[in-house]
Amino acid sequence: MPGATTSPASGLSNLFAPYLETVCHRTAEALTACGYRALVVHSGSLLPVFEDDRTYPFEVNAPFKVWTPLAEPDCFVYFQPGQRPILVFSQPRDYWYKPPAPPEDYWTEYFDIRTCPDRESARALLPPDLGGTAYLGEPFAELGSWGVMAHNPARLIRHLDFGRAVKSPYELTCLREASRLGARGHMAAQRAFAAGESEFAIELAFLAACGLREQELPYNPIIALNEGGSVLHYQVLEKRAPAARHSLLIDAGAEFGGYASDITRTYSAGDGDFSALIARMDTLQQALCTGIRAGADWREVHLRAHRLTAEVLQEAQIVTCSADEALDAGVTRVFLPHGIGHLLGLEVHDAGGLMRSPEGGDIPRPEGHPHLRLTRVLTEGFVVTMEPGIYFIDPLLEAARADQRASLINWSRVASLRKFGGIRIEDDLAVTATGCENLTREAFRSEQPGN
Protein backbone atom coordinates (compact mmCIF):
# COMPACT_ATOMS: atom_id res chain seq x y z
CA MET A 1 0.00 0.00 0.00
CA PRO A 2 1.19 3.53 -0.66
CA GLY A 3 3.63 4.81 1.90
CA ALA A 4 3.58 1.68 4.01
CA THR A 5 7.34 1.39 4.31
CA THR A 6 7.00 -1.25 7.01
CA SER A 7 4.26 -3.08 5.14
CA PRO A 8 3.20 -6.28 6.88
CA ALA A 9 2.11 -7.68 3.47
CA SER A 10 4.08 -10.91 3.85
CA GLY A 11 2.06 -11.92 6.91
CA LEU A 12 -1.20 -10.70 5.42
CA SER A 13 -1.59 -13.54 2.94
CA ASN A 14 -1.88 -16.13 5.74
CA LEU A 15 -4.40 -13.95 7.55
CA PHE A 16 -6.43 -13.10 4.47
CA ALA A 17 -7.43 -16.71 3.70
CA PRO A 18 -9.38 -17.32 6.94
CA TYR A 19 -10.80 -13.78 6.73
CA LEU A 20 -12.15 -14.42 3.23
CA GLU A 21 -13.57 -17.72 4.44
CA THR A 22 -15.46 -15.84 7.16
CA VAL A 23 -16.77 -13.33 4.61
CA CYS A 24 -17.90 -16.15 2.30
CA HIS A 25 -19.62 -17.92 5.19
CA ARG A 26 -21.32 -14.75 6.45
CA THR A 27 -22.43 -13.83 2.92
CA ALA A 28 -23.75 -17.33 2.20
CA GLU A 29 -25.87 -17.20 5.36
CA ALA A 30 -27.18 -13.74 4.49
CA LEU A 31 -28.04 -14.78 0.92
CA THR A 32 -29.93 -17.83 2.16
CA ALA A 33 -31.78 -15.83 4.82
CA CYS A 34 -32.87 -13.26 2.22
CA GLY A 35 -33.68 -15.63 -0.65
CA TYR A 36 -30.80 -15.00 -3.09
CA ARG A 37 -28.53 -17.42 -4.87
CA ALA A 38 -25.54 -15.15 -5.45
CA LEU A 39 -24.14 -11.65 -4.97
CA VAL A 40 -22.46 -9.19 -7.31
CA VAL A 41 -20.77 -6.09 -5.85
CA HIS A 42 -19.62 -3.12 -7.93
CA SER A 43 -16.62 -1.05 -6.78
CA GLY A 44 -18.18 2.16 -8.14
CA SER A 45 -17.82 4.33 -11.24
CA LEU A 46 -15.91 7.48 -12.05
CA LEU A 47 -18.25 10.45 -11.77
CA PRO A 48 -17.70 13.09 -14.49
CA VAL A 49 -17.77 16.78 -13.63
CA PHE A 50 -20.56 18.53 -15.54
CA GLU A 51 -19.35 20.11 -18.80
CA ASP A 52 -15.79 18.98 -18.24
CA ASP A 53 -13.58 16.08 -19.28
CA ARG A 54 -12.45 15.36 -15.73
CA THR A 55 -13.95 13.16 -13.04
CA TYR A 56 -14.30 13.52 -9.29
CA PRO A 57 -11.72 11.62 -7.23
CA PHE A 58 -12.72 7.97 -7.11
CA GLU A 59 -13.93 6.50 -3.81
CA VAL A 60 -14.42 2.77 -3.60
CA ASN A 61 -17.43 1.73 -1.50
CA ALA A 62 -17.28 -0.36 1.67
CA PRO A 63 -19.34 -3.40 0.52
CA PHE A 64 -16.71 -3.90 -2.21
CA LYS A 65 -13.82 -3.34 0.21
CA VAL A 66 -15.20 -6.21 2.30
CA TRP A 67 -13.88 -8.51 -0.46
CA THR A 68 -10.68 -6.86 -1.63
CA PRO A 69 -8.54 -3.81 -0.87
CA LEU A 70 -8.51 -3.05 -4.61
CA ALA A 71 -9.53 0.59 -5.13
CA GLU A 72 -10.23 0.76 -8.88
CA PRO A 73 -13.49 1.81 -10.58
CA ASP A 74 -15.81 -0.55 -12.45
CA CYS A 75 -14.56 -3.77 -10.92
CA PHE A 76 -17.01 -6.46 -9.79
CA VAL A 77 -16.91 -9.25 -7.25
CA TYR A 78 -19.27 -12.14 -7.92
CA PHE A 79 -19.88 -14.67 -5.17
CA GLN A 80 -21.94 -17.82 -5.28
CA PRO A 81 -21.76 -19.93 -2.10
CA GLY A 82 -19.50 -22.94 -2.48
CA GLN A 83 -17.52 -21.38 -5.35
CA ARG A 84 -14.33 -19.34 -5.53
CA PRO A 85 -15.22 -15.62 -5.73
CA ILE A 86 -14.78 -14.05 -9.17
CA LEU A 87 -13.13 -10.64 -9.52
CA VAL A 88 -13.84 -8.87 -12.79
CA PHE A 89 -11.00 -6.39 -13.10
CA SER A 90 -11.50 -3.36 -15.32
CA GLN A 91 -8.40 -2.37 -17.31
CA PRO A 92 -9.39 0.36 -19.78
CA ARG A 93 -7.50 0.49 -23.10
CA ASP A 94 -6.59 4.12 -22.82
CA TYR A 95 -3.61 6.23 -23.80
CA TRP A 96 -4.66 9.37 -21.88
CA TYR A 97 -4.42 7.62 -18.54
CA LYS A 98 -2.17 4.81 -17.40
CA PRO A 99 -4.34 1.69 -17.14
CA PRO A 100 -4.01 -0.10 -13.80
CA ALA A 101 -1.99 -3.32 -13.87
CA PRO A 102 -3.88 -6.50 -12.96
CA PRO A 103 -3.58 -6.87 -9.20
CA GLU A 104 -0.81 -9.06 -7.80
CA ASP A 105 -0.89 -8.95 -4.03
CA TYR A 106 -1.41 -10.96 -0.86
CA TRP A 107 -5.14 -11.42 -1.60
CA THR A 108 -5.19 -12.14 -5.35
CA GLU A 109 -4.58 -15.92 -5.23
CA TYR A 110 -7.98 -16.41 -3.56
CA PHE A 111 -9.95 -14.98 -6.50
CA ASP A 112 -10.74 -16.11 -10.01
CA ILE A 113 -9.57 -12.87 -11.68
CA ARG A 114 -10.94 -11.99 -15.12
CA THR A 115 -9.84 -8.81 -16.91
CA CYS A 116 -12.06 -6.66 -19.13
CA PRO A 117 -11.47 -3.34 -20.93
CA ASP A 118 -14.65 -1.58 -19.75
CA ARG A 119 -17.89 -1.91 -17.79
CA GLU A 120 -19.97 -3.00 -20.80
CA SER A 121 -17.78 -6.05 -21.41
CA ALA A 122 -17.74 -6.98 -17.70
CA ARG A 123 -21.16 -8.62 -18.03
CA ALA A 124 -19.84 -11.32 -20.38
CA LEU A 125 -17.30 -12.40 -17.74
CA LEU A 126 -20.03 -13.04 -15.15
CA PRO A 127 -22.29 -16.13 -15.18
CA PRO A 128 -24.89 -15.89 -17.97
CA ASP A 129 -27.84 -16.24 -15.59
CA LEU A 130 -27.92 -13.61 -12.81
CA GLY A 131 -31.58 -14.35 -12.08
CA GLY A 132 -31.18 -15.11 -8.35
CA THR A 133 -28.42 -12.57 -7.84
CA ALA A 134 -28.53 -9.48 -5.63
CA TYR A 135 -26.56 -6.44 -6.85
CA LEU A 136 -24.82 -4.08 -4.42
CA GLY A 137 -23.51 -0.71 -5.51
CA GLU A 138 -24.45 2.50 -7.29
CA PRO A 139 -26.70 1.57 -10.25
CA PHE A 140 -25.33 2.39 -13.73
CA ALA A 141 -26.84 2.67 -17.20
CA GLU A 142 -26.32 -0.90 -18.52
CA LEU A 143 -27.35 -2.58 -15.27
CA GLY A 144 -30.99 -2.76 -16.39
CA SER A 145 -30.06 -5.36 -19.02
CA TRP A 146 -27.97 -7.53 -16.69
CA GLY A 147 -30.93 -9.48 -15.38
CA VAL A 148 -30.12 -9.29 -11.65
CA MET A 149 -32.89 -10.08 -9.18
CA ALA A 150 -32.58 -7.04 -6.90
CA HIS A 151 -30.64 -3.78 -6.52
CA ASN A 152 -29.33 -3.03 -3.02
CA PRO A 153 -31.96 -4.99 -1.09
CA ALA A 154 -32.11 -3.42 2.38
CA ARG A 155 -32.59 -6.71 4.24
CA LEU A 156 -29.52 -8.29 2.69
CA ILE A 157 -27.39 -5.16 3.29
CA ARG A 158 -28.48 -5.22 6.90
CA HIS A 159 -27.47 -8.86 7.32
CA LEU A 160 -24.06 -8.16 5.78
CA ASP A 161 -23.44 -4.93 7.71
CA PHE A 162 -24.34 -6.46 11.07
CA GLY A 163 -21.56 -9.02 10.82
CA ARG A 164 -18.95 -6.43 9.80
CA ALA A 165 -18.69 -5.10 13.36
CA VAL A 166 -16.60 -8.08 14.51
CA LYS A 167 -13.08 -7.84 13.09
CA SER A 168 -10.90 -10.82 12.22
CA PRO A 169 -7.13 -11.04 12.90
CA TYR A 170 -6.53 -9.91 9.28
CA GLU A 171 -8.67 -6.82 9.77
CA LEU A 172 -7.02 -6.03 13.10
CA THR A 173 -3.63 -6.21 11.39
CA CYS A 174 -4.82 -3.68 8.78
CA LEU A 175 -6.28 -1.46 11.51
CA ARG A 176 -3.00 -1.54 13.47
CA GLU A 177 -1.09 -0.51 10.36
CA ALA A 178 -3.60 2.31 9.67
CA SER A 179 -3.04 3.43 13.28
CA ARG A 180 0.75 3.42 12.86
CA LEU A 181 0.52 5.51 9.69
CA GLY A 182 -1.88 7.87 11.44
CA ALA A 183 0.40 8.20 14.47
CA ARG A 184 3.31 9.10 12.17
CA GLY A 185 1.15 11.80 10.59
CA HIS A 186 0.07 13.14 13.98
CA MET A 187 3.64 13.38 15.24
CA ALA A 188 4.62 15.37 12.15
CA ALA A 189 1.56 17.59 12.57
CA GLN A 190 2.48 18.30 16.18
CA ARG A 191 5.96 19.40 15.08
CA ALA A 192 4.45 21.64 12.38
CA PHE A 193 2.17 23.22 14.98
CA ALA A 194 5.11 23.81 17.34
CA ALA A 195 6.94 25.48 14.42
CA GLY A 196 4.08 27.95 13.99
CA GLU A 197 2.72 26.58 10.70
CA SER A 198 -0.74 27.25 9.22
CA GLU A 199 -3.58 24.70 9.22
CA PHE A 200 -2.84 23.91 5.57
CA ALA A 201 0.88 23.41 6.22
CA ILE A 202 0.03 21.14 9.15
CA GLU A 203 -2.10 19.05 6.81
CA LEU A 204 0.74 18.78 4.30
CA ALA A 205 3.04 17.62 7.11
CA PHE A 206 0.44 15.02 8.12
CA LEU A 207 0.05 13.71 4.55
CA ALA A 208 3.78 13.54 3.91
CA ALA A 209 4.42 11.61 7.11
CA CYS A 210 1.57 9.15 6.37
CA GLY A 211 2.80 8.80 2.80
CA LEU A 212 -0.77 9.23 1.56
CA ARG A 213 -2.47 11.72 -0.73
CA GLU A 214 -5.58 13.48 0.54
CA GLN A 215 -7.97 11.27 -1.45
CA GLU A 216 -6.42 8.15 0.09
CA LEU A 217 -7.35 9.23 3.61
CA PRO A 218 -10.45 7.73 5.22
CA TYR A 219 -11.87 11.23 5.87
CA ASN A 220 -10.91 14.85 5.41
CA PRO A 221 -8.64 15.85 8.28
CA ILE A 222 -10.03 18.30 10.80
CA ILE A 223 -7.11 20.64 11.52
CA ALA A 224 -8.23 23.57 13.62
CA LEU A 225 -6.09 26.25 15.19
CA ASN A 226 -7.50 28.27 18.09
CA GLU A 227 -11.29 28.80 18.15
CA GLY A 228 -11.68 26.65 14.98
CA GLY A 229 -11.55 23.70 17.38
CA SER A 230 -15.08 24.55 18.50
CA VAL A 231 -16.42 23.54 15.07
CA LEU A 232 -16.85 19.77 15.31
CA HIS A 233 -16.12 19.02 11.62
CA TYR A 234 -14.02 22.14 10.90
CA GLN A 235 -12.96 22.03 7.23
CA VAL A 236 -11.35 25.40 6.37
CA LEU A 237 -7.60 24.57 6.23
CA GLU A 238 -6.55 28.23 6.50
CA LYS A 239 -3.41 28.84 4.44
CA ARG A 240 -2.02 31.61 6.64
CA ALA A 241 -0.88 31.08 10.21
CA PRO A 242 -2.86 33.17 12.71
CA ALA A 243 -1.15 36.11 14.42
CA ALA A 244 -1.60 34.52 17.84
CA ARG A 245 -1.32 30.77 18.36
CA HIS A 246 -3.26 29.19 21.24
CA SER A 247 -4.17 25.59 20.39
CA LEU A 248 -4.40 22.88 17.78
CA LEU A 249 -7.17 20.30 17.52
CA ILE A 250 -6.29 17.69 14.88
CA ASP A 251 -8.67 14.85 14.01
CA ALA A 252 -7.04 12.87 11.22
CA GLY A 253 -6.59 9.25 10.32
CA ALA A 254 -4.85 7.10 7.75
CA GLU A 255 -5.91 4.06 5.77
CA PHE A 256 -4.36 0.66 5.15
CA GLY A 257 -5.89 -2.17 3.14
CA GLY A 258 -9.14 -0.19 3.06
CA TYR A 259 -9.29 0.09 6.88
CA ALA A 260 -9.31 3.44 8.68
CA SER A 261 -7.77 4.92 11.77
CA ASP A 262 -9.57 7.83 13.42
CA ILE A 263 -7.34 9.79 15.81
CA THR A 264 -7.72 13.14 17.57
CA ARG A 265 -5.21 15.07 19.63
CA THR A 266 -5.33 18.56 21.13
CA TYR A 267 -2.28 20.68 21.92
CA SER A 268 -1.78 23.91 23.80
CA ALA A 269 0.70 26.46 22.43
CA GLY A 270 1.95 27.15 25.94
CA ASP A 271 -0.93 28.28 28.10
CA GLY A 272 -0.56 26.31 31.34
CA ASP A 273 -4.22 26.48 32.31
CA PHE A 274 -5.35 25.02 28.95
CA SER A 275 -2.54 22.42 29.07
CA ALA A 276 -3.84 21.30 32.48
CA LEU A 277 -7.36 20.97 31.06
CA ILE A 278 -6.02 18.83 28.19
CA ALA A 279 -4.18 16.63 30.71
CA ARG A 280 -7.38 16.30 32.74
CA MET A 281 -9.32 15.27 29.62
CA ASP A 282 -6.62 12.74 28.81
CA THR A 283 -7.10 11.20 32.27
CA LEU A 284 -10.86 11.11 31.68
CA GLN A 285 -10.35 9.48 28.29
CA GLN A 286 -8.09 6.81 29.76
CA ALA A 287 -10.59 6.14 32.55
CA LEU A 288 -13.27 5.53 29.91
CA CYS A 289 -10.96 3.19 27.97
CA THR A 290 -10.40 1.16 31.16
CA GLY A 291 -14.10 0.23 31.22
CA ILE A 292 -14.14 -1.21 27.70
CA ARG A 293 -14.51 -4.97 27.33
CA ALA A 294 -16.84 -7.47 25.70
CA GLY A 295 -20.25 -7.16 27.33
CA ALA A 296 -20.05 -3.41 27.96
CA ASP A 297 -23.19 -1.55 26.84
CA TRP A 298 -22.07 1.42 24.72
CA ARG A 299 -25.06 3.51 25.84
CA GLU A 300 -23.77 3.21 29.41
CA VAL A 301 -20.26 4.14 28.30
CA HIS A 302 -21.70 7.27 26.70
CA LEU A 303 -23.68 8.21 29.81
CA ARG A 304 -20.66 7.55 32.02
CA ALA A 305 -18.67 9.93 29.80
CA HIS A 306 -21.22 12.63 30.58
CA ARG A 307 -20.91 11.97 34.34
CA LEU A 308 -17.11 12.23 34.16
CA THR A 309 -17.36 15.33 31.96
CA ALA A 310 -19.60 16.95 34.57
CA GLU A 311 -16.85 16.37 37.15
CA VAL A 312 -14.22 17.99 34.91
CA LEU A 313 -16.50 20.97 34.24
CA GLN A 314 -16.97 21.40 37.98
CA GLU A 315 -13.28 20.97 38.86
CA ALA A 316 -12.21 23.37 36.11
CA GLN A 317 -14.82 25.87 37.34
CA ILE A 318 -16.52 25.99 33.96
CA VAL A 319 -19.79 25.39 35.77
CA THR A 320 -20.87 27.13 38.98
CA CYS A 321 -22.87 24.14 40.27
CA SER A 322 -22.11 20.60 41.38
CA ALA A 323 -21.32 17.88 38.86
CA ASP A 324 -24.69 16.24 39.59
CA GLU A 325 -26.60 19.44 38.95
CA ALA A 326 -24.69 20.04 35.71
CA LEU A 327 -25.54 16.53 34.56
CA ASP A 328 -29.21 16.72 35.55
CA ALA A 329 -29.71 20.11 33.87
CA GLY A 330 -28.19 18.87 30.60
CA VAL A 331 -25.25 21.27 30.84
CA THR A 332 -22.72 18.59 29.84
CA ARG A 333 -24.44 18.38 26.46
CA VAL A 334 -23.60 22.04 25.83
CA PHE A 335 -19.91 21.18 26.08
CA LEU A 336 -20.05 17.61 24.69
CA PRO A 337 -22.70 17.52 21.95
CA HIS A 338 -21.50 14.42 20.07
CA GLY A 339 -21.45 10.70 20.77
CA ILE A 340 -18.61 9.22 22.80
CA GLY A 341 -17.55 6.97 19.93
CA HIS A 342 -18.56 4.75 17.02
CA LEU A 343 -17.68 1.56 15.19
CA LEU A 344 -14.55 1.79 13.04
CA GLY A 345 -13.47 -0.35 10.10
CA LEU A 346 -13.84 -0.06 6.34
CA GLU A 347 -15.72 3.17 6.96
CA VAL A 348 -14.67 5.70 9.55
CA HIS A 349 -18.21 5.64 10.95
CA ASP A 350 -18.71 1.96 10.28
CA ALA A 351 -22.08 0.44 9.45
CA GLY A 352 -24.48 -1.25 11.84
CA GLY A 353 -23.91 0.72 15.05
CA LEU A 354 -27.58 0.76 16.08
CA MET A 355 -28.64 -2.71 14.94
CA ARG A 356 -30.25 -5.04 17.46
CA SER A 357 -29.95 -8.08 15.18
CA PRO A 358 -29.32 -8.88 11.51
CA GLU A 359 -33.06 -9.45 11.04
CA GLY A 360 -34.28 -6.02 12.04
CA GLY A 361 -34.86 -3.43 14.73
CA ASP A 362 -32.63 -0.73 16.15
CA ILE A 363 -31.48 -0.20 19.73
CA PRO A 364 -32.72 3.29 20.64
CA ARG A 365 -30.30 6.00 21.73
CA PRO A 366 -30.58 7.28 25.30
CA GLU A 367 -33.08 10.11 25.48
CA GLY A 368 -31.48 13.49 24.80
CA HIS A 369 -28.49 11.99 22.97
CA PRO A 370 -29.53 12.08 19.30
CA HIS A 371 -26.00 11.93 17.86
CA LEU A 372 -24.80 8.67 19.39
CA ARG A 373 -23.83 6.36 16.49
CA LEU A 374 -23.42 3.16 18.52
CA THR A 375 -25.92 1.60 20.92
CA ARG A 376 -24.90 -2.06 20.76
CA VAL A 377 -23.37 -4.18 23.52
CA LEU A 378 -19.69 -4.68 22.68
CA THR A 379 -18.49 -8.06 21.46
CA GLU A 380 -14.93 -9.33 21.21
CA GLY A 381 -13.56 -8.10 17.88
CA PHE A 382 -15.49 -4.83 17.77
CA VAL A 383 -13.29 -1.83 17.04
CA VAL A 384 -14.60 1.45 18.45
CA THR A 385 -13.37 4.99 18.92
CA MET A 386 -13.25 6.64 22.34
CA GLU A 387 -13.46 10.38 21.87
CA PRO A 388 -14.53 12.53 24.81
CA GLY A 389 -14.35 16.27 24.38
CA ILE A 390 -15.13 19.67 25.81
CA TYR A 391 -15.86 22.51 23.38
CA PHE A 392 -16.82 26.16 23.57
CA ILE A 393 -19.43 26.25 20.78
CA ASP A 394 -21.06 29.65 20.35
CA PRO A 395 -24.55 28.58 19.17
CA LEU A 396 -24.88 26.00 21.97
CA LEU A 397 -23.59 28.44 24.58
CA GLU A 398 -26.00 31.13 23.36
CA ALA A 399 -28.91 28.69 23.64
CA ALA A 400 -27.89 27.76 27.21
CA ARG A 401 -27.52 31.42 28.12
CA ALA A 402 -31.11 32.02 27.07
CA ASP A 403 -32.66 29.46 29.43
CA GLN A 404 -32.44 28.09 32.98
CA ARG A 405 -28.97 26.64 32.34
CA ALA A 406 -27.51 30.19 32.24
CA SER A 407 -27.00 30.41 36.01
CA LEU A 408 -25.09 27.09 36.09
CA ILE A 409 -22.32 28.20 33.72
CA ASN A 410 -19.32 30.31 34.71
CA TRP A 411 -19.49 32.79 31.82
CA SER A 412 -16.26 34.64 32.55
CA ARG A 413 -14.39 31.31 32.62
CA VAL A 414 -16.04 30.35 29.31
CA ALA A 415 -15.04 33.70 27.83
CA SER A 416 -11.39 33.14 28.74
CA LEU A 417 -11.35 29.60 27.28
CA ARG A 418 -13.21 30.40 24.05
CA LYS A 419 -10.04 31.25 22.11
CA PHE A 420 -8.82 27.63 22.50
CA GLY A 421 -11.89 26.25 20.68
CA GLY A 422 -12.09 22.90 22.42
CA ILE A 423 -10.46 19.63 23.34
CA ARG A 424 -11.00 16.19 21.87
CA ILE A 425 -8.84 13.14 22.54
CA GLU A 426 -9.68 10.12 20.42
CA ASP A 427 -8.18 6.63 20.36
CA ASP A 428 -9.22 3.49 18.50
CA LEU A 429 -9.90 0.44 20.68
CA ALA A 430 -10.08 -3.22 19.71
CA VAL A 431 -12.42 -4.95 22.16
CA THR A 432 -11.26 -8.21 23.77
CA ALA A 433 -12.95 -10.60 26.19
CA THR A 434 -11.34 -8.99 29.23
CA GLY A 435 -10.51 -5.43 28.12
CA CYS A 436 -9.31 -3.72 24.99
CA GLU A 437 -6.22 -3.09 22.90
CA ASN A 438 -5.60 0.62 22.42
CA LEU A 439 -4.48 0.65 18.79
CA THR A 440 -3.71 4.37 18.87
CA ARG A 441 -1.55 4.56 22.01
CA GLU A 442 0.34 1.46 20.89
CA ALA A 443 0.92 3.08 17.48
CA PHE A 444 2.27 6.30 19.04
CA ARG A 445 4.60 4.20 21.22
CA SER A 446 5.88 2.13 18.30
CA GLU A 447 6.43 5.17 16.07
CA GLN A 448 8.39 7.04 18.75
CA PRO A 449 11.97 7.68 17.51
CA GLY A 450 14.24 4.93 18.83
CA ASN A 451 11.54 2.24 18.69
Residues that bind Mn ion (CB under 5 A): 262, 385
Q: What are phi and psi of 401, to 5 degrees?
A: -70, -20
Cβ proximity of 75 and 85 under 8 Å: no
**Distance of closest approach, residue 282 Cβ to Mn ion, in angstroms:** 16
d(CA 120, CA 53): 20
Minimum Å gap between C-beta 396 and Mn ion is 19
What is the nearest approach in angstroms of Mn ion to the Cβ of residue 437?
17
- Kind and range of the H or E run holding 429: strand 427-431
Nearer to Mn ion, 74 or 347 (CB): 347
Minimum CB–partner distance for residue 54 and Mn ion (Å): 31
CB of 178 to Mn ion, least distance (A): 13
Closest separation in Å from C-beta 348 to Mn ion: 7
CA distances from 353 to 104, 127, 203, 241, 252 (A): 34, 35, 30, 38, 21
Name the minimum Å distance from CB 263 to Mn ion.
Answer: 8
Which among 222, 245, 233 is positioned nearest to 419, based on CA atoms? 245
Q: Which is nearer to Mn ion, 227 or 387 (CB)?
A: 387
15: enclosing H helix or E strand: helix 9-34
Nearer to Mn ion, 262 or 447 (CB): 262
The rounded distance, in Å, linking the Cα atoms of 89 and 202 is 37
User: What is the C-alpha to C-alpha distance for residues 238 and 448, in angstroms, rounded to an integer?
Assistant: 29
The residue (of 246 and 373) whose beta carbon lies closer to Mn ion is 373
Quick one: 329 or 348, whose CB is closer to Mn ion? 348
Nearest in space to 199 (alpha carbons), one of 263, 244, 242, 233: 242
Q: Residue 230 and residue 107: Cα distance in Å, rounded?
A: 42
Backbone dihedral region of 8: left (phi > 0), alpha (psi from -120 to 50 degrees) or beta? Answer: alpha
- Which residue lies nearer to Mn ion by CB, 393 or 425? 425
Positive or negative CA dihedral for 437, 308, 265, 60? positive
Q: How far is the CB of 387 from Mn ion (least distance, A)?
A: 5
HSE-CB of 231 using CA atoms within 13 angstroms: 13
Q: Which is nearer to Mn ion, 203 or 387 (CB)?
A: 387
> What is the C-alpha to C-alpha distance for residues 308 and 264, in angstroms, rounded to an integer?
19
C-alpha dihedral (214, 220, 223, 228), degrees to nearest 10 = 140
Nearer to Mn ion, 198 or 385 (CB): 385
